[in-house]
């Protein structure tokens, strides 16, 4: 059979490649973004309780009402902003499914979508599958600041969507209030949809506040917010997220969502709905991860790696240009094979594979793991 691939250049995900190499060489895995510690036992007990109380059949297509109501309450508490639980919130099979469905719902042949690079790797293939064209805006290390004049120059009559990610994976940077105001001004009085990937909204450091699109009135009217309970509650394997949007946008989203997954795990939804009743379960997350970031960076401050402390997420970029000129993909593989530590090369997220000699390390790990990783990084000299 002759196949004409719709994604001819897409290969195995870099996350799968690096995790497989880490397993093969028994390396400390700071590559893929998942914790190596257990979630709160209370959350696990709530999931077990939900299963034992009969929450084992299909949930409503948009998600159980208790969870949608808890999400709505969270937006009121955090942002003084409202999303109606009946019409403006949908529970999804992780954030990636929400992103896929949003793009599939609105992007048609030859529509243009602006991305800020380095960009998480699920955006571009989904745009291409739906016939869209990616318009990349390459941000420069170490600060990854947006040049909004460049963005304006790339907006055309074909621009259908702008995708933002704040806090941003993989760079660990955040959009400022001024960034959001600039985005709001550029999209005002247009038909451009904004997809705001906010899965790390509860992991922002150094006293900064997360600037959600829902805080900006005109942006909110044209935007989807995508979020993840897996990232927030250390249960990435549960694959539960959600999205919020004004009713007219959400109505269109649901048309595709119902034929994609229809609904997601019923007992896990119930467990999370109950767990959300205590706001400290997410309000304390920034402090929790800032302690880990500071521990990790403190341990490697005298190494040959250079860094700007992550502003959010649980990822830290390390500049290795003082060690070698080797390409980041090759160097990261070498670190696994020769030094038993795994990371992610940032060039795979950049426009045209631009290599700035930066690797991404995940610090959502136990303190012992971070200490062992730091010992390895401190031992690395010139290559």
Write down the H helix ranges in 155-310.
177-187, 217-222, 229-232, 247-260, 266-275, 280-283, 285-299
pTM of the model: 0.96
The secondary structure of residue 306, as a DSSP letter, is B
Lowest mean pLDDT among 7-16, 55-64, 121-130, 169-178: 7-16
pLDDT digits (tens, 9 = 90+) for 271-319: 999 999 999 999 999 999 999 999 999 999 999 999 999 999 999 999 9
pLDDT digits (tens, 9 = 90+) for 155-190: 999 999 999 999 999 999 999 999 999 999 999 999
Given a contact cutoff of 8 angstroms between Cβ atoms, the answer to whether 125 and 169 are in contact is: no
Domain boundaries, given as residue ranges, for the chain: 14-32+284-379, 55-281
pLDDT band at 5; cut points 50, 70, 90: very high
**For the chain, how many residues are written?**
383
pLDDT of 383 above 80: no
CATH architecture assigned to 14-32+284-379 = Alpha-Beta Complex (3.90)
Residue 122: CB atoms within 10 A of its CB come to 16
Question: Which positions ≥6 away from 185 have C-beta within 8 Å?
Answer: none
Question: Which positions ≥6 away from 107 have C-beta within 8 Å?
Answer: 113, 127, 130, 131, 132, 160, 161
What percentage of the chain exceeds 70 in pLDDT? 100
Of 239, 158, 167, nearest in space to 199 by CA: 167
First-to-last C-alpha distance (Å) of the chain: 47
Per-residue model confidence (pLDDT) at position 11? 82
**Which CATH number describes the domain made up of 55-281?**
3.40.640.10
Region 223-247: what's the mean pLDDT? Answer: 97
Q: What is the rounded CA–CA span in Å between residue 86 and residue 126? A: 28
Long-range pairs for 215-221: beta carbons < 8 A, 24 or more residues apart = 215/79, 215/81, 215/180, 216/180, 216/181, 216/184, 218/184, 218/187, 218/188, 219/180, 219/183, 219/184, 219/187, 219/194, 220/81, 220/246, 221/246
Tokens of 145: 């600041």
Region 110-129: what's the mean pLDDT? Answer: 96
pLDDT band at 70; cut points 50, 70, 90: very high
């Amino acid at each position: 059979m002759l196949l004409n691939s719709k994604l001819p250049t897409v290969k195995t995900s870099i996350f799968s490649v690096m995790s497989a190499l880490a397993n093969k060489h028994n390396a400390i895995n700071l590559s893929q973004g998942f914790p190596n510690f257990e979630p709160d036992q209370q959350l696990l007990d709530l999931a077990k309780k939900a299963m034992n109380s009969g929450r084992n059949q299909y949930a409503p297509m948009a998600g159980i009402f208790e969870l949608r109501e808890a999400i709505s309450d969270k937006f009121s508490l955090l942002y003084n902003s409202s999303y109606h639980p009946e019409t403006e919130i949908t529970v999804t099979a992780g954030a990636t499914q929400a992103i896929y469905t949003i793009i599939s719902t609105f992007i048609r042949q030859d529509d243009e979508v602006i991305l800020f690079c380095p960009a998480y790797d699920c955006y571009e293939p989904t745009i291409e599958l739906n016939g869209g064209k990616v318009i990349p805006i390459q941000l420069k290390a170490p600060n990854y600041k947006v040049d909004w004049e460049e963005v304006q120059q790339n907006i055309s009559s074909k621009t259908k969507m702008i995708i933002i990610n704040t806090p941003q994976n993989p760079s660990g940077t955040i959009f400022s209030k001024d960034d959001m105001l600039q985005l709001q001004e550029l999209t005002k009085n247009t038909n451009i949809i904004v997809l705001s990937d906010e899965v790390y909204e509860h992991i922002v450091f150094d006293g900064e506040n997360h600037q959600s699109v829902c805080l900006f009135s005109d942006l909110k009217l044209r935007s989807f917010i995508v979020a993840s309970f897996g990232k927030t509650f250390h249960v990435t394997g549960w694959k539960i997220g959600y999205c919020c949007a004004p009713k007219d946008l959400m109505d269109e989203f649901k048309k595709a969502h119902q034929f994609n997954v229809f609904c997601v795990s019923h007992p896990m939804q119930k467990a999370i709905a109950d767990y959300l009743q205590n706001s400290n379960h997410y309000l304390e997350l920034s402090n929790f991860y800032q302690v880990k970031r500071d521990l990790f960076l403190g341990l490697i401050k005298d190494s040959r790696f250079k860094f700007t402390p992550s502003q959010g997420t649980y990822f830290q970029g390390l500049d290795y240009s003082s060690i070698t000129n080797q390409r980041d993909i090759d160097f990261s593989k070498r670190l696994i094979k020769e030094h038993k530590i795994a990371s992610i090369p940032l060039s795979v997220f950049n426009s045209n594979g631009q290599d700035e000699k930066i690797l991404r390390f995940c610090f959502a790990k136990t303190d012992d793991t971070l200490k062992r990783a730091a010992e390895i990084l401190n031992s690395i000299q010139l290559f």
